[in-house]
Amino acid sequence: MRIAVVFHKDPFAAPTGIDLVRLRAITGGLIRNGFEAEIVAPVETSGVIEDFIPVRPLEALNDPGQYDLVKTCYHFSIKLIRGYSGPVVSRIVRVVDEQWPDRDRAFREELLQCQELIAQRARVVALNNPENRERWRGRYGAETRVVLVPTGCPATIPEPGANPYPGPSKKILFLGSLAADHMVKMINDAAVRLRNRAEIHLVGRNKASMYGSDQQNSTASGIFDHGERPIDQIWDYIRNADLGLALATGPHPFDNDVSKIFDYLRGGLPVLSEEPILNNGLIHKTGLGKTFKHNDIEDLVSKALELLENPPLEKRGAAMRFMAQEHSWDRRVRTYVDLFRGMENE
């Protein structure tokens, strides 16, 4: 079966964010399972990533016999499939409406247009969680099949490298994107209240301005911004931290499917997570961390100090094995393998 995985950004970029990590993991997994899968994206020339994953320009979709199925990756990818007339499977992260999520207000009209195209064009919609499945069905009905394919983590992780943190202080890691006013404010407030008790290290990108925010990271001592780092180095930030912090973008669970929790737990790092986050069940199941009340900085600080002083390290090994066995990218690929093989026989 020949599959085009349509991606709306540059797939040749170094994978520092979950979008490229997921793209490579899913496409590579399909190839290892016997599919002729390749990434199709707005690139000028063909190439290869990971030494075995083909990348081709969008013009490849112009050949009506080139692909048996197209999988789109995000809202905007649906606009790139052009004249392709075969079956489409579309994955989106969160279902927007006329009001929520608030942080999508600058893109709301275009996102709604993309959803309408997906509802008309896709044979199957892939979503991360039941909350967004219910939002989809409430808006577009139950005619389009929905499958759930949550985020994942690697089954194996790189061997330990150098400790990237200077000094002996306790280290709280915030991994990934800052994508909302609320997140930036909580980071800044936590740094003030935890000053002289722990440092907060940011590894990722502050994207809050992309959503219309003017919030910036504080210049207060105790916040260290490492920027975006190569994926192999990220595991050393996880290994050498004392606590992983997960913050909600806002008050609604459907908008808080947080991939960093998977990586924290896969790396054996105790997690402190805000309560609207959907993935908090993994923290409770593994016992490797705590949750705190939404928008409650005092509860955040109190729970952080508890975990820093008495980390549940006895839970670490079991948590790492559980994540590798039950939530690996290989497990996520199996859902697509079963789906695509079933569609091949329809």
What one-character-per-residue DSSP string does 280-332 give?
HHHHHHHT-EEEE-TT-HHHHHHHHHHHHHS--GGGHHHHHHHHHHHSBHHHH
Q: Are 224 and 200 in contact (CB under 8 A)?
A: yes
Q: Report pLDDT for 207.
A: 52
Which domains, ranges and CATH numbers included, belong to the chain? Answer: 2-152+328-344 (3.40.50.2000), 171-326 (3.40.50.2000)
3-state helix, strand, coil in the chain (%, to 5): 40, 20, 40
Q: Which tokens belong to 31?
A: 């190839």
- Closest by CA position to 313, among listed 262, 241, 258, 235: 241
Q: Residue 16 and residue 30: Cα distance in Å, rounded?
A: 21
pTM: 0.94
| pLDDT digits 0-9 by tens, 268-299 | 999 999 999 999 999 999 999 999 999 999 99
Taking residues 205-217, report their average pLDDT: 57
Sign of the C-alpha dihedral, residues 91, 97, 102, 103? positive
- What one-character DSSP code corresponds to residue 177? -
Integer CA distances (angstroms), 272 to 237, 277, 291, 298, in order:
16, 11, 5, 13
Q: Are 270 and 244 in contact (CB under 8 A)?
A: yes
| pLDDT digits 0-9 by tens, 135-177 | 999 999 999 999 999 999 999 999 999 999 998 999 999 999 8
Parallel/antiparallel/unpaired status of strands 271-274 and 47-49: unpaired
Q: Residue 103 and residue 177: Cα distance in Å, rounded?
A: 13
Q: Which amino acid is at 261?
A: I
Terminal-residue alpha carbon distance, the chain: 13
Least confident range from 17-21, 87-91, 323-327: namely 17-21
**Average per-residue pLDDT in the chain?**
94
Q: Are 291 and 304 in contact (CB under 8 A)?
A: no
Q: Report pLDDT for 181.
A: 87
Sign of the C-alpha dihedral, residues 208, 212, 214, 215? negative
Q: Are 200 and 223 in contact (CB under 8 A)?
A: yes
Place of tokens 């890691």: 173
- Tell me how crowded residue 112 is: count the other CB atoms within 10 A of its CB: 17
Residue 76 pLDDT level (bands cut at 50, 70, 90): very high
Q: Which tokens belong to 12?
A: 């040749």
- Percentage of residues of the chain with pLDDT beyond 70: 95
Q: Residue 296 and residue 294: Cα distance in Å, rounded?
A: 5
